[in-house]
Amino acid sequence: MFKQLDHIAIVVRDTDEALKFYRDQLCLPLILSEVIEEANVRLTHLDLGNVELQLIQPLTENHPLQNHLNEHGEGMHHLCIAVDDITKSMKALPAFGLKSQPNEPHRGPRGRTAAFIDPFTTRGVRWEMTADPL
């Protein structure tokens, strides 16, 4: 079901400030930056060679990621695995002792769909699955 690691996600307070480190200091090439309006986040992807680094910036003060930032500061948020089909993968999770969180996929960058796996079923690690549109 799982194909390969798609991206590593880091939550940041300010993407432009974070780019000074990741793009300018580490020289990671910028792939894209896009606002996902319905999620109130800015997602920015940088090229790590064999995987992408995703910077996630919450765009509203009451966004749930603000709580994450307040509690933990900037840093690792989740790992994302590519799958062929989000709906089929979500339905297959129970066979692996896993469940999705929430139960509906969400929109990702580049028109992709994505879904998180409940971290209570993954030994506390936050995993996301993503698939290209069918």
C-alpha torsion angle, residues 56, 60, 65, 66 (rounded to 10): 120
The per-residue pLDDT for range 73-107, each reduced to its tens digit, is 999 999 999 999 999 999 999 999 999 988 789 98
DSSP state of 29: P
pTM, 2 dp: 0.92
Percent of the chain with pLDDT over 90: 89
Residue with tokens 């129970």: 94
Whether pLDDT at 1 is above 90: no
Whether pLDDT at 134 is above 80: no
Domains with residue ranges and CATH for the chain? 4-131 (3.10.180.10)
Q: What is the mean pLDDT of residues 19-27?
A: 98
Q: What is the pLDDT of residue 102?
A: 80
